Amino acid sequence: MTEADRLRYDVLVIGAGPAGLACALTLKREKPELSVAVLEKAASLGAHSLSGAVIEPAWVDRLLPGWRDDPLDIQVPVSRDRFAWLSHGRAFRLPTPPQMHNAGNWIVSLGALVRRLGAAAESAGVEIFPGFAATQPLWDRAGALAGVRVGDLGRTREGAPGPNFSPGVEVRAGVTVLAEGCRGSLSRTLIRHFGLDQGKSPQTYALGLKELWQLPPGRTVPGSVLHTVGWPLPTDLYGGGFVYHLDRDRLAIGFVVGLDYEDPDFSPFEAFQQFKHHPGLVGLFEGGEILSAGARTLIEGGYPALPTLEMPGGLLVGDAAGTLNVPKIKGVHMALGSGIRAALHLIQNGGPEGFDQNFRHSEAGRELWRVRNIRPGFRAGLWVGLANAAVETVTGGRVPWTLTNADDWRSLKPRGPVPRPHRRYRTRILPPADRLAFVDLAALHHEENQPVHLQVADPALCVSQCSARFGNPCTRFCPAGVYEIVTDAGGSRLQINAANCVHCKACDIKDPYELITWVPPEGGSGPNYANL
Amino acid sequence: MAPMKILVAAKRVVDYSVRVRLTPDRTGIASDGVKMSVNPFDEIALEEALRIRERGEATQVVVATVGPPEAESQIRSLLAMGADRGIHVETGRETAPLEVAHVLFRLVQEIGPGLVILGKQAIDDDCGQTGPMLAALWDRPQATYVSKLTLSEGRVQAVREVDHGLETVELVLPAVITTDLRLNTPRFIKMPDIMKARQKPLEKRPFDGFGLDLPRLTVEAYLPPPEREAGLRLESVAELVTRLHDRGVL
Amino acid sequence: MDATLVMAEAQEGTVPLAEATLKTLAVARKIGAGPLDIAWTGTSLDPLLGQARTLAGIRRHLVFDDPRLTHPTADVMAALVGDLVRDYSHVLMPGTSFGRDVLPRLAGRVGAPAVSDVLEVLDPRRFKRGLYAGNVHAVVRVPDGVPVLLTVRLASWRPVTAEKEAQPAGIEKREVPADLPTEARFVGLERDASARPDLQSARRVVSGGRSFGSRENFALLEGLADRLNAAIGASRAAVDAGYAPNDLQVGQTGKIIAPELYMAFGISGAIQHLTGIRDAGTIVAVNKDPEAPIFKVADFGLVGDLFEVIPALLAELERQGIAR
């Protein structure tokens, strides 16, 4: 590998999301002599970015001066802010929790913001490589992280080199910044390798699904923000919906469910589709058209689960670390802020040492600490959670305890003892009819003849144990219909439709036997979200 | 054999994985946030040119595009694939095949290539006209829908995918080739080559500088294709066969 | 003065009139721009002209009959008719590999835009055609002052029938110049060796889904395909389950096809699959599940078990003596 020798950077960033690009851009602006590269598994910038997204604009102002005057594809100031509890047939306004006040905030497309950040970073001299997935860490002699190996391209399904095989190169770096977003595969490897999660609470996650709609003229109130709790979720299931009215008759709707749910028969996809059919919402969509749709997990463990953010040769930023502020349901400002802070830290200190403490004592770290007990409080159900949230908010988190999470993969209860809840679901009329129609809106590209990137350690167990005990929940929690149990002449077996994968990572998190490992497919594979 | 140059023409198009839709006012195709790519058949054209060069049968591969300023990212990726230099004819408007053929013809007169290779069609307008139009303007032989290409002694032998099978033709160079899917599998771009591509010459020229004033089709409307509707539920196989026979499809 | 020229599919004389030519005539009639001439190119065309004379509504048959025109290349065609087409307001060719090769070359020579793959005629200068593999349709207008040059999207048109004309049109043998271009030379044609037509260009396709349950069962389609001279296709589910090879996959990520007849057996009709067959002429769906989405787009639906329907279909085709 001779060419690989020439790929060497002072700082290598893994993932061109808000955290990674903020870090790269800041590094290059503050210290132009540094060589900085960013690897991104998506085929183009923003293509795997999915978020609500209502953002606090302060960091964007700093990174992209003048952005307000040169609007992104989606960029609407919040004009109205509502919070509601939904019953099966009605909506009840609730006082908006203080963290969820959005005055001065903007509704944007994260994908569009990422494209803008990427353009700024490139003009500052950052080298960005979309379509290249970092698959393995490289080590130096002392055992420190020394860069990454990029995945091979052009292997066949069986793993053999195909006609246009192109081996992945090694990219070496003085410091590697892990900015892969929620449940990053390389980040996870490194957290385990260096024991960065030792002594921390288990991490917990949620799954978010989103659609961008084009509606008939006149139905939207641009800037109107609605968050909901309640139907179609039972009160013991943490989650809710969002409806953001955009300009030009566009509307973003989404639904987030905590992956600590217990019912193996629950389907996040179905819950999202049901949410759209609430009588208070369904009328919005008739005659409209979906422009883009997708799903992504969110990291919700917060401060108690925040791993040590530094390791020899590397550091963690943004959702790869877990800086999302759950009560605010916002992660973008934290991602940007942690990326900037990491850059400044590297410039001041010349390396990752001390970044963990630096972050924890920063305003962002304190912000996370203050709200640390709110998400775990919802493990006792919606109403206890809301009450606990109020207490935590009033006290500013200055309570003498810290609640913890449990692993999401442990939370499923076997099918037998749990009575199947009566869901009172409605007959659906809106698109997409099913998950295949949903993923069709994600503009997936995935070369079929490549190794399956969803690695199942023991597929036999799926039918020998999981079917009877949990009824193969992978066939329901996956929002993209990747997993199917096929029964044919050869008996029953797990079929993995890898080409449907939208890279949300829910399977890596929720599979009750921890059999599924999500690894990056060939670079450039996956969804091509348009402004999610 | 004298040193031969190859000109490859490429177009920036909406990526094939994107489900295209019309803008709400139906005046065009929605492009907000939509992934754009090199027309896949043009990538095949470049791959073939590179293989010819790598076999020592050509000395230089020039890639040209007519497109908006943003098409620079597509032409850069073609340079990263291995083209030696690029020509980007910039225009803010949609161009028609006849216009592009005229631009390419001018470039051909300047460069003097032995071969011009382009995709059999662009996957956006699906016209499939630019190659033959260029061949006509240039008054040189053409082979369209080519799935195999062999050079020898100032000639090129091309296997064409035609309706009834595979047709082999032999052309005296210089000639125009348009590529079909089976010609080759384009190589992946390598990371180091992306950096090298930034140093390769890329010449920009305004489309208006070509002074073309050619008749063009006007698009009066864009429409979604009609939805298919459910037809008849039949009760028996015999009825099905009769119905199909009546329709003239059996 | 309006006048229309249809350039027939080049062929050797003994075979029946090419359906592609008859469909192109249908478009010419729909346009109705002035008298209609047909240019025939090929070799030993007399038997074919015997049939052609019975076509109604033709002014003249212009015949270019020469051994050198057995497999004419585009540059030869352009040299042959390049001056002739200037006498016409409309020049039409079938959307075959021949027409798509020749017509744009003529357009380049004449200096006029061309309209590829006409789906629908709105008026003599306005046409509907597909973009983005048929996902968008566009109405295009040919500007005044230039001839209308177009190719016909064959799957969208029915052939004219060769009804008897009381006064058959005249046949004009045209001289084939001695100095045709020689820089492109036909070397050979290898007709498809496989008995079965290519999925992409087949007029009929029989296609199977996961309900077949095994690779062995999937082979049931072969008998039907042979009987109908059809290509075999498969849904992605069938391919993913290993019942059919990858290159048979029909749909968004497989092949987008437009056969005259598409028969889907045990295919539920995921949107990705329907995208691949949107432009098919007639769609037949056979499925056990009466709610399967494929029925929403099928011209003819039959609720039933494919393992019963396919043998019954074969027997019925046999009984009615249809196909093969």
DSSP labels for C243-306? Answer: SS-GGGBBSTTSB----SEEEEES----HHHHHHHTT-SEEEEEES-TT-GGGGT-SEEEES-H
Is B248 in a helix, a strand, or coil?
A: coil
> Please, what is the angle between helix B191-199 and helix B72-81, to 10°?
120
Tell me whether residue A482 is in a domain: yes
Residue C156 has pLDDT above 90, yes or no: no
Structure confidence by residue, pLDDT tens digits, B155-201: 999 999 988 789 999 999 999 999 999 899 999 999 999 999 999 99
Looking at residue C166, its pLDDT comes to 67
Domains defined for chain B, CATH in brackets: 5-247 (3.40.50.620)
Share of chain C above pLDDT 70, in %: 95
The more confident residue out of C56 and C222 is C222
Residues in A closer than 8 angstroms to C246, CB to CB, are: 448-449
Domains defined for chain C, CATH in brackets: 4-173 (3.40.50.620), 204-320 (3.40.50.1220)
Looking at residue A369, its pLDDT comes to 94
| H helical segments located in chain C | 19-31, 46-52, 74-81, 97-110, 215-218, 220-228, 236-240, 271-277, 306-320
The pLDDT mean for chain C works out to 91
A329 and A448 part of one domain: no
The pLDDT mean for chain B works out to 95
A119 and A198 part of one domain: yes
Residue A1 has pLDDT above 50, yes or no: no
Domain region containing A344: 3-64+112-202+302-374
Residue B116 has pLDDT above 60, yes or no: yes
Residue A78 has pLDDT above 90, yes or no: yes
Looking at residue A165, its pLDDT comes to 95
Interatomic CA distance for residues A431 and A450, integer angstroms: 31
Tell me whether residue A73 is in a domain: no
- Would the CB atoms of C217 and A437 count as touching at under 8 Å? no
A137 and A56 part of one domain: yes
- Would the CB atoms of C293 and A495 count as touching at under 8 Å? no
Q: How confident is the model at residue B112 (pLDDT cuts 50, 70, 90)?
A: very high
Residues in A closer than 8 angstroms to B16, CB to CB, are: 445
Structure confidence by residue, pLDDT tens digits, A447-486: 888 999 999 999 999 999 999 999 999 999 999 999 999 9
Looking at residue A356, its pLDDT comes to 97
A362 and A491 part of one domain: no
Residue C241 has pLDDT above 80, yes or no: yes
Tell me whether residue A18 is in a domain: yes
Residues in A closer than 8 angstroms to B186, CB to CB, are: 164
Question: Which of these ranges, A143-152, B142-151, C184-193, has the smallest mean pLDDT?
Answer: C184-193
Is C26 in a helix, a strand, or coil?
A: helix
Residue A275 has pLDDT above 90, yes or no: yes
- Give the gap in angstroms from C-alpha B141 to the nearest C-alpha of chain C: 6
- Would the CB atoms of B19 and A443 count as touching at under 8 Å? yes
The pLDDT mean for chain A works out to 94
* CB neighbour burial string for A346-358, b if at least 16 within 10 angstroms, e if fewer: beeeebbeebbeb
Residues in B closer than 8 angstroms to C318, CB to CB, are: none
List the subunits that have 3+ CB pairs under 8 angstroms with C: A, B
Residue A135 has pLDDT above 50, yes or no: yes
| H helical segments located in B200-236 | none
Mean pLDDT on A168-192: 97
Looking at residue C256, its pLDDT comes to 87
A448 contacts chain C (CB < 8 A): yes
Q: How confident is the model at residue A419 (pLDDT cuts 50, 70, 90)?
A: low
A367 and A440 part of one domain: no
Residue ending a domain, among A359, A374, A389, is: A374
Q: What is the CATH number of the domain that holds A178?
A: 3.50.50.60
A39 and A125 part of one domain: yes
Q: How confident is the model at residue A3 (pLDDT cuts 50, 70, 90)?
A: low
pTM beyond 0.90: yes
How many domains does chain A fold into? 2
Interatomic CA distance for residues A8 and A426, integer angstroms: 56
Residues in A closer than 8 angstroms to B82, CB to CB, are: none
A458 and A323 part of one domain: no
Q: Determine contact, residues C21/C9, Cβ cutoff 8 Å.
A: yes
What ipTM goes with this model?
A: 0.94
Structure confidence by residue, pLDDT tens digits, A327-357: 898 999 999 999 999 999 999 999 999 999 9
Q: How confident is the model at residue A397 (pLDDT cuts 50, 70, 90)?
A: confident
Looking at residue C51, its pLDDT comes to 85
Looking at residue A421, its pLDDT comes to 66
- In whole angstroms, how far apart are CA C62 and each of A194, A241, C39, C168? 83, 70, 5, 14
- Would the CB atoms of B20 and C136 count as touching at under 8 Å? yes
Tell me whether residue A222 is in a domain: no
Tell me whether residue A104 is in a domain: no
Looking at residue C21, its pLDDT comes to 93
CB contacts under 8 A, A 25-64 vs B, are: 43-44, 46-47
Q: What is the CATH number of the domain that holds A462?
A: 3.30.70.20
Q: Of how many residues is chain B composed?
A: 250
Looking at residue B6, its pLDDT comes to 98
A159 and A42 part of one domain: yes
Looking at residue A302, its pLDDT comes to 94
Q: How confident is the model at residue A259 (pLDDT cuts 50, 70, 90)?
A: very high
Q: How confident is the model at residue A417 (pLDDT cuts 50, 70, 90)?
A: low
Please name the residue of chain B whose CA is at the shortest distance from the CA of residue C201: B163
Tell me whether residue A227 is in a domain: no
Distance of CA A262 to the CA centre of its chain: 21
